[in-house]
Structure 1
Amino acid sequence: MPTTTTQYNKLSITMTSKPIHTTKDIQNPNTPALTIDGLIDAQVAFMQQWLCKQAEPLSMEAWQWFGGQPLSKYISRDDLQYLLNDWLLNHPLSEVMRADIRDILHTVIYHPVNDNVPLSELVDDTQVATLADYIGSHEQQRNILIHTLIGNETFTDLLTQTLYHAINDFMETTLDKAGGVGKLMKLGRSSFEKVTNKNLDEKLQTYLHRNIKDLAHRAEANAKAHLSNEEVARLLVTGWARIKAQPISHIQTYLRDEPDNSSIDHIEASIGQSYNRLRMSPYLHSLVAAGVDTWYRNHQADTIATVAASLHIDEQAMAQLTPTLLPIINDALASEWLTAHLREMLQEFYNQPNIKASLGFNDQ
């Protein structure tokens, strides 16, 4: 019985098994022979179609793989130092970038929306209150503010000139209307100037400047001695309350927008000049190097995904970005340069002697 069963199984296998055909067996005399060039063309087309269909999932898988790699595996501290110091800071702002800065500043500053948006939209009341409390609670900052408001030299000169013109105008107007008394006073003024060899106007200005400057210094000293933290803070808050309702476009009143005298041009030129001066400064290079060292020390053990997450770049962001990138990827896959490179790569593969001999394809 066992022998019979064994023979039955062998017979069954023989009857049901399909014969193995070689390449020569399946070639039909009526079918054109497959050449290496034809095979390459078919493979290139297949690879391009397959990659286009798989572009989206492959992009996400590539991001997942890349995000899981440690930062230090691909980026060193020296790489970052070179990027910032030797590459970025080694070049001035290009003319294209400078033109973009001017155009963007002009668009932003003179945009019509600024007419309907108050300054309070830029700075919140709580921010002003916090700053006011900070300045009011720090003696050095408080004294600087008081000096700026009361003891400023420019303010003293302006007040002196204002009072001088007011007194001079009053005297001239009064003397003209005083008749004989006015003429007598003018004669006395002339006699004074001849005797003292000094101009009365200059004497008056010197007197006013000396006394007003002294009064300003006294007022500043009294303010520093008696103004409390709360009063200084309230002064700042009150000043902000007076201007916060003005539209942002009010800033335009301090600017010029003329072809030959544009404030935007001056601002941009100042930015470019400052950047060119600082980018060549050993001081800035030292600060950049120290900043890179600190950042790299804090993040060298992180994965690239962790670093990207600090910039709000995660899988969800990549998923939203992928549809935007797909047209670029598809166009690149279908481009002539990629097709040529794929064909060249496959030709190199099939032209290997061992591959060509083992396949036995017709090269014609």
Structure 2
Amino acid sequence: MTSKLMQTPKDIQNLDTPMLTIDSLIEAQVTFVQHWLRKQAEPLSMEAWQWLGAQPLSKYISSNDLQRLLNDWLLDHPLSEVMRADIRDILHSLIYHPANDNVPLSELVDDTQVATLADYVGSHEQQRNILIHTLVGNETFADLLTQTLYHAINDFMENTLDKAGGVGKLMKLGRSSFEKATNRNLDEKLQTYLHRNIKDLARRAEANAQEHLSNEEVARLLVTGWARIKEQPISHIQTYLRDEPDNSSIDHIEASIQQSYNRLRMSPYLHSLVAAGVDTWYRNHQSDTIASVAASLHIDEQAMAQLNQALLPVINDALDSTWLTAHIREMLQAFYSQPNITDNLGFNNH
């Protein structure tokens, strides 16, 4: 009786299947990996988020990391020209948007907010006195009133007296005689007199207001002032701005923002405040998980699922891209080029 020879796996392969090569295997695996990743992209990303969210913040991020991020990414760089142009365009779009014509100021500030502020100012003596000084004892306002009265009196002297015949000539003669006798210009004397007396009157009015205006009256003044303007459309703000190519208020606003930002970002004062703020925040949250921190920004699993849906087209395009295909192929080639792999598998190299 003749016994049959045992067939090896290599013999079976030769009999039943075409010869596999490493190159053909790699190409099949590249296709499989890309297809598998496309199918699993969404659940994998959610599982990755769940894993990351469960990690403690302090495991990966320190207070110094956050400070370096703010300093290197934000404070060490001026606003770019692109960003400055965007700020100007956005401000212009917001300020001159047609919707501002139909929305009153009361949509921005609620009556209860004004009432709360009015009660606060009225019930705090220091703030109340500052407000009264701003409204009544303002030196700039006194100077403006002085100039207004002076121009009114001077206009009367110059124009009205010309029509007064002999009386007007007599008064002009008296003015000339006064200036010669005192060696002083009557206009200068008049301005000095008005300036001194109006400022004195403003100080007296301020003192009387601070002494006699009750907390309720001060609060009522603020509420009444708000009531007069709250129904004006937001577009009323445009009357205080210029929108000309060579004289744009928005350009001035943006330039001021940029100047202030550049001054502050290089200030040791701001850097010390940023460091203190980051340290305080980190001390409060270092034991939290990343998911807890994200939740404080309203980033939860539902938000991540929505983000995944938005990113899926990008992910699929990336998986189909030539650069990722090349990297997958290179990785597999490196794997199969290991001597122990090629020897043990027994595949042809070509």
TM range (shorter): over 0.9
Match of 1:283 among 257, 269, 282: 269
SS of the equivalent of 2:347 reads coil
Q: Report the residue type matching 2:187 in the other structure.
A: D
The corresponding residue for 2:75 is 89
Match of 2:169 among 183, 187, 200: 183
Separation (CA, whole Å) in 1 of partners of 2:34 and 2:246: 57
Separation (CA, whole Å) in 2 of partners of 1:172 and 1:362: 114
Match of 1:211 among 197, 205, 209: 197
Q: Structure 1, unaligned stretches of length 5 or more? A: 1-19
Please state if 1:327 is matched with 2:307: no
SS of the equivalent of 1:27 reads helix
Q: How does 1:43-192 map to 2 (within 5 A)?
A: 43-192=29-178
Q: Report the residue type matching 1:133 in the other structure.
A: D
SS of the equivalent of 2:121 reads helix
Q: Structure 2, unaligned stretches of length 5 or more? A: 1-5
Match of 1:316 among 302, 326, 345: 302
Q: Deviations over 1:184-240 (max 9, x none)?
A: 222222111111112222211211111111000000000011111111111111111
The corresponding residue for 2:334 is 348
SS of the equivalent of 1:24 reads helix
Separation (CA, whole Å) in 1 of partners of 2:104 and 2:38: 51
Aligned residues: CA RMSD:
1.6
Structure of higher CA gyration radius: 1
Structure 1 residues 174 and 259: CA distance shift in structure 2, 3 A: closer
Separation (CA, whole Å) in 2 of partners of 1:166 and 1:100: 48
Q: Is 162-171 or 278-287 further displaced after alignment?
A: 162-171
Separation (CA, whole Å) in 1 of partners of 2:87 and 2:73: 21
1:84 offset after TM fit, Å?
1.2
Match of 1:360 among 327, 346, 349: 346
Q: Report the residue type matching 1:58 in the other structure.
A: L
SS of the equivalent of 1:93 reads coil
Separation (CA, whole Å) in 1 of partners of 2:166 and 2:187: 22
How many residues are matched?
345
The corresponding residue for 1:228 is 214
Q: Deviations over 1:336-358 (max 9, x none)?
A: 11111111111111111111000
SS of the equivalent of 2:43 reads helix
Separation (CA, whole Å) in 1 of partners of 2:214 and 2:141: 23
Structure 1 residues 250 and 21: CA distance shift in structure 2, 3 A: farther
SS of the equivalent of 1:269 reads helix
Q: Deviations over 1:167-187 (max 9, x none)?
A: 233344442333222222222
1:141 offset after TM fit, Å?
0.8
SS of the equivalent of 2:260 reads helix
Separation (CA, whole Å) in 2 of partners of 1:22 and 1:323: 50
Work out the percentage of aligned pairs sharing the same amino acid: 86
The corresponding residue for 1:271 is 257
Q: Is 119-128 or 173-182 further displaced after alignment?
A: 173-182
Separation (CA, whole Å) in 2 of partners of 1:297 and 1:63: 24
Separation (CA, whole Å) in 1 of partners of 2:276 and 2:168: 75
SS of the equivalent of 1:33 reads coil
Q: Is 343-352 or 30-39 further displaced after alignment?
A: 30-39
1:284 offset after TM fit, Å?
0.8
